[in-house]
Every structure is written in structure tokens, then in C-alpha cells.
Amino acid sequence: MHIPFPELAASARVVSLPLRTRFRGIDVREAMLLRGPAGWTEFSPFVEYGDEEAAAWLRAAIDFGWSDHPGTGSVRVNATLPVVSVDRVPELLARFPGTRTVKVKVADPASTVAEDAARVGAVRRAIGPEGRIRVDANGAWTVDEAEHAIHAFAEHDLEYVEQPCATLDELAEIRRRVKYMGVPIAADESVRKAADPLAVVAAEAADILVLKVQPLGGIRAALRIAGQAGLPVVVSSALETSVGIAMGAHLAAQLGTEEYDAGLGTAALLAADVTSSPLLPRDGAIEVRRVEPDEDLIERHTAPPERQLWWMQRLERCAALVGE
């Protein structure tokens, strides 16, 4: 669907939200909010992404804001643990009440495998033997490094390892190497950053697909990928505001995935949000609903003028790409 730039720009608001803990190398999350006929939506590709990649995020924003999508009830979510010291693990997990699953970020340049393993162990002690632990390396390891790390974490009974390596060949190789251990491999970047999101399936490089609705171009596009993949899927967020997380919650509700908890609890990582009713985890789940931002919160967290201009120019360029 093509929406002319002036119509998009008419409601566009740019916010800058502080994070509770440094995450993905940033301390502040910038996002653009748009209001369509169906409600508020979000356009928030990370600032380093080029226009071609960012245009998919705009397609998702238009799909959600200019179309009705069914969704009620709630979806179970995981806790997300950034790269922090072991002593901070209980404090951060307390922000995700009732969650049974924790995704632990690993393979950060500032963290060794031993430190990652200690953090994973602290999570296991915190959530007990019945809890689920998944780790996410964001493609940072070589195959040999991934194999070494997975062995180091093995005693903590991993649910799966997300994007241990960057390329499809590497993913396929590490999947073969650790198959005997019963540790599934999940693909994230190899889905959302690929020209063909299903190439990872053809390469037999993953057991699970991680679907992030904005990078994949919207709910409809993500549903098509899930339907064609024939693999279990996990719906996850891209560190959005509650408006963007609502988009992911509607996708998860339509997919009806219950085997794996969704990675949609990340509003808990924000020190501020755009609504007084954020989609925070409660009893291990978030609601499936559209989010109405509060004007006073938007005003309080409005980005500086130069950043507003930057985002508006980006919106105009991406709108032209979507319209092609």
C-alpha cells in the first residue's frame, strides 16, 4: 500500500526514549510515530540502516496504521537480559514478572565466553530448572567460536541459540555440529536482513525462525513467510515503543504460536515510553491491543529539532521507495 508522503508527515512525531541499561550499543531509542485510519503505528528502523532496508519498516508501519488487524487476549513473552554483570541479573529479571523464559544476550565484544556462561548460569539459578533459557549472539561468532560457546553453556539446558553465526553456510555448519547435543539453532538476521527470508530454510541452516514484524515489512508479509517456512517461529521485537510492540503482538496473536514465548517484553528495557499504559509484561504476558500514545509523554520525549528533521527527511525518502 502506498501512502503519499504529505499524509504520512501530517501526523508524524519523533521521540527519543532513554533505555534503562545500554542495549545493542545504544542508550537512547529514537522512533517515529504515525497515525493512520486504523490507529497509531511506528516507523523505527535503527539509525544506521540505509533507506532500502528502512523502507521495509515503513511498509510495516503503513500496513498496521492503514489496515485493520484482528487481535485480542495476550501472548506469553520472554525476559531479555542485556550484557550485564552477574550481580545485576536478579534486578533486571525483576522487570519481567512472571516470565518463564529468558533471552540472554551474549558474544558482546566487551564480554568473554566465560563471562557469558556465568551470566547464563546466574539466570538458571534465578529461574530454576523448569525455566527456559535462549541465548542470542547476533551473528558475532565464527563456527568454531560458536561451537565452543554452546558447549560452555550446555550444562544450563538451552532452549535454543539465536543467530550464532552471520552467514547461511556458517549457520548450517554449526547446526550440523551441535545437532547431537539437541540444541536448536534459530535464525534472526538471516531472515530479516536477507533478500530472500526463506533462503535459510532451503539451506537447512535453522530449526526455528525469529520474525520481527517491522524489518519484514508488516504483519501480512510476516504471515506469508511463516506460512511458507514450515518451521516453528518466534515473534520478536526490535526495541520499539509500545506502539511498535503492539504490531508484533498482533502478529503473534494471528500466528497463534504457543510453543515458544515471544520476544515482545522489551518495553521493560525502556526508561520511558510514549503511553501511560505500556505493553509491559504482567504474569509473563503482554496484552494484544493497539496503543494510544499520551500527548504529554510525546511532548516530554520529543526529539531535538535536528533529529526531527533527520527523521522527516528519512520518511520522505523511504515513502518514495515504498511508492515505486
Are 148 and 239 contained in the same domain?
yes
Q: Which residue bears the cell 542495549? A: 23
The residues pairing with 104 across neighbouring beta strands, listed in sequence order, are 81, 135
Are 101 and 238 contained in the same domain?
yes
Active site residue 212: yes
Residue 34 Rama label (left phi>0; alpha psi -120 to 50; beta)? beta
Domain of 111, in residue numbers: 74-287
Are 183 and 236 contained in the same domain?
yes
User: Would you say residue 292 lies in a domain?
Assistant: no
Are 25 and 161 contained in the same domain?
no
Out of 103, 179, 193, 212, the active site residue is: 212
Residue pLDDT, tens place only, 162-202: 999 999 999 999 999 999 999 999 999 999 888 899 999 99
Active site residue 105: yes
In this prediction, residue 21 has a pLDDT band, given cuts at 50, 70 and 90, of: confident
Average pLDDT, the chain: 96
Q: Which three cell numbers stand for residue 156?
A: 544450563
Say if strands 39-43 and 74-76 run parallel, antiparallel, or are unpaired: unpaired
188 is in an annotated binding site: yes
240 is in an annotated binding site: no
**CA distances, 144 to each of 147, 150, 164, 214 (Å):** 5, 10, 10, 32
Residue pLDDT, tens place only, 129-151: 999 999 999 999 999 999 999 99
Query: Residue 300: is it exposed, middle or buried by C-beta count within 10 angstroms (0-12/13-18/19+)?
Result: exposed
Are 146 and 99 contained in the same domain?
yes
Cα distance between residue 219 and residue 204, in whole Å: 25
Are 314 and 267 contained in the same domain?
no
pTM over 0.85: yes
Residue pLDDT, tens place only, 211-253: 999 999 999 999 999 999 999 999 999 999 999 999 999 999 9
Neighbours of 85 (CB within 10 A): 11
Q: Where are the beta strands (DSSP E) in the chain?
A: 13-23, 26-36, 39-43, 74-76, 79-81, 101-105, 132-136, 158-162, 185-187, 208-212, 233-236, 285-287
Helix then strand then coil, % of the chain, to nearest 5:
40, 20, 35
116 is in an annotated binding site: no
The CATH number of whichever domain residue 213 belongs to comes to 3.20.20.120
